[in-house]
């Protein structure tokens, strides 16, 4: 019944995405910036890699950020577009997603499928990718579902600014593991968490272990470990310590009681999606983990979560104790670092891709709305503003 409920929820999320991506009364065509170089000016810019810039400028050239600052010395011919009171931040990076391939992101006949690659299940033209882009998400860590103890290989994908579909930045972003209840079955091993750990040990010790598992055991690949409850988190931490794994716990919803142990393990936590109806203790988890020094990122679990779940998760986390700085980092650079693409995106710095999110107010305020999204320096979405009354 639980699995049926999850699948129905996912299908509902997909239906919502399809229903909302088509331009209507709320959207208008993106602004055309034909020049190879142009500049955006806004009331506030959050580079994430540094302090906010008041009345700042971003010089963009050939899809990359050329410079950023309060006042830039621009060459002749560079168009300046003044965004008024708007706020600019990096495009959002989803730290854990099943977008564009949910039902095909698990092979449940056997519990160990290290060779399953998320990139192979991706539908690069899936409408949910465009819907996510309109909500400011410009990069996703695409992960196999947590149905198997060794679930497969994660990928990093980026929507296309044209008609070419989503691009795979890497199809080897890390190995997905799961010690959650969702990985247990009655009709095959494992049927318990203890059985899952025993199975992992068997595969790790085998002379015939897969290359993918070998990469994770050697520390060359990060692992992303599904673990939600206190018991699941404790089990995951034992395995991480035993095999000296690096990476992140995914969900870790009830990790506040194990914050010290998580910090000592050296792994990060991917939190989310959070909802207004969640218990207060769960909503306070991100703040509690941050307080102990644990590195955090946010994940949407799309298509299960709502389209705007990353911004909602960040806003709720800040409302319940997380610092603003940490929340902005969790939305962007931290997730990019876990995915192994922080040299390309995740913050507004010279040389990085010009993936920008423009909002009409504070990005951590639930009332703020996405105004425009730039991908590789191209405006790919712009919200239609209400006409002023005469």
Residue spans per domain, the chain: 31-90+348-383, 92-339
Other beta carbons within 10 Å of 30: 16
Q: Report CA Rg, the chain.
A: 21
CA distances from 368 to 26, 167, 224, 312, 379 (A): 15, 29, 31, 11, 19
Entry pTM: 0.90
Query: Which residues, in sequence order, are CB contacts of 340 under 8 Å at separation 6+?
Result: 156, 170, 173, 174, 222
| pLDDT of 376 over the 50 cut | yes
Categorize the per-residue pLDDT at 36 as very low, low, confident or very high, splitting at 50, 70 and 90: confident
Categorize the per-residue pLDDT at 154 as very low, low, confident or very high, splitting at 50, 70 and 90: very high
Q: Determine the average pLDDT of the residues in 304-327.
A: 91
SS3 230: helix
- Percent residues over pLDDT 70 in the chain: 88
The span from the first CA to the last CA of the chain, in angstroms, equals 56
User: Judging by DSSP bridges, how do beta strands 87-90 and 37-45 pair with one another?
Assistant: parallel
User: Judging by DSSP bridges, how do beta strands 378-383 and 27-28 pair with one another?
Assistant: antiparallel
Categorize the per-residue pLDDT at 208 as very low, low, confident or very high, splitting at 50, 70 and 90: confident
Q: When comparing pLDDT for 383 and 3, which is higher?
A: 383
Backbone φ, ψ for residue 320 (5° rounding): -115, 30
Q: When comparing pLDDT for 125 and 387, which is higher?
A: 125
Q: Determine the average pLDDT of the residues in 40-57.
A: 97
Backbone φ, ψ for residue 88 (5° rounding): -115, 135
Torsion (CA) 307, 313, 314, 317 in degrees, nearest 10: 170
Q: Which fold has domain 31-90+348-383?
A: Urease, subunit C; domain 1 (2.30.40)
SS3 351: coil
For 8, the token pair is 């129905």
User: % helix / strand / coil in the chain, to the nearest 5?
Assistant: 30, 25, 45
pLDDT of residue 308: 80
pLDDT of residue 26: 52
- Choose the CATH number for 92-339 among 3.10.450.50, 3.20.10.10, 3.40.390.10, 3.20.20.140: 3.20.20.140
For 9, the token pair is 């929820």
Separation of alpha carbons 236 and 254, rounded Å: 13
């Amino acid at each position: 019944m639980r699995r049926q409920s999850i699948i129905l929820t996912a299908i509902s999320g997909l239906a919502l995405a399809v229903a909302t991506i088509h331009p209507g009364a709320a959207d208008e065509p993106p602004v055309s910036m034909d020049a190879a170089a142009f500049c955006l000016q806004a009331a506030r810019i959050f580079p994430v890699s540094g302090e906010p810039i008041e009345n700042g400028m971003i010089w963009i050239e050939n899809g990359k950020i050329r410079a950023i600052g309060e006042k830039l010395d621009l060459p002749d011919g560079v168009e300046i577009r003044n965004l008024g009171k708007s706020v600019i931040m990096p495009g959002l990076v989803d730290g854990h997603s099943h977008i564009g391939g949910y039902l095909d992101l698990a092979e449940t006949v056997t519990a160990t499928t290290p060779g399953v690659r998320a990139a192979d299940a991706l539908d690069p033209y899936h409408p949910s990718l465009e819907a996510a882009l309109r909500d400011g998400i410009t990069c996703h860590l695409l992960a196999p579902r947590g149905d198997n103890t060794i679930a497969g290989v994660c990928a990093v994908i980026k929507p296309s600014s044209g008609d070419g579909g989503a691009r795979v930045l890497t199809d080897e972003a890390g190995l997905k593991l799961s010690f959650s209840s969702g990985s247990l079955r009655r009709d095959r091993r494992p049927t318990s968490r203890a059985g899952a750990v025993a199975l992992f040990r068997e595969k790790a010790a085998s002379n015939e272990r897969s290359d993918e598992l070998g990469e994770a055991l050697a520390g060359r690949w990060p692992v992303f470990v599904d673990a939600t409850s206190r018991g699941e988190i404790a089990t995951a931490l034992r395995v991480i310590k035993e095999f000296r794994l690096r990476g992140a716990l995914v969900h870790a919803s009830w990790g506040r009681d194990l914050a010290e142990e998580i910090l000592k393990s050296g792994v990060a936590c991917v939190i989310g999606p959070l909802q207004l109806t969640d218990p207060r203790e769960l909503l306070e988890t991100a703040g509690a983990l941050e307080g102990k020094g644990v590195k955090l990122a946010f994940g949407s679990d799309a298509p299960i979560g709502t389209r705007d779940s990353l911004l909602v998760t960040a806003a709720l986390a800040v409302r319940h104790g997380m610092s603003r700085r940490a929340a902005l980092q969790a939305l962007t650079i931290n997730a990019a670092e876990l995915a192994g693409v922080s040299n390309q995106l995740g913050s507004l710095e010279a040389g990085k891709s010009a993936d920008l999110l423009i909002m009409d107010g504070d990005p951590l305020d639930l009332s703020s709305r996405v105004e425009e999204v730039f991908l590789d320096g191209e405006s790919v979405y712009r919200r239609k503003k209400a006409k002023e009354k005469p």
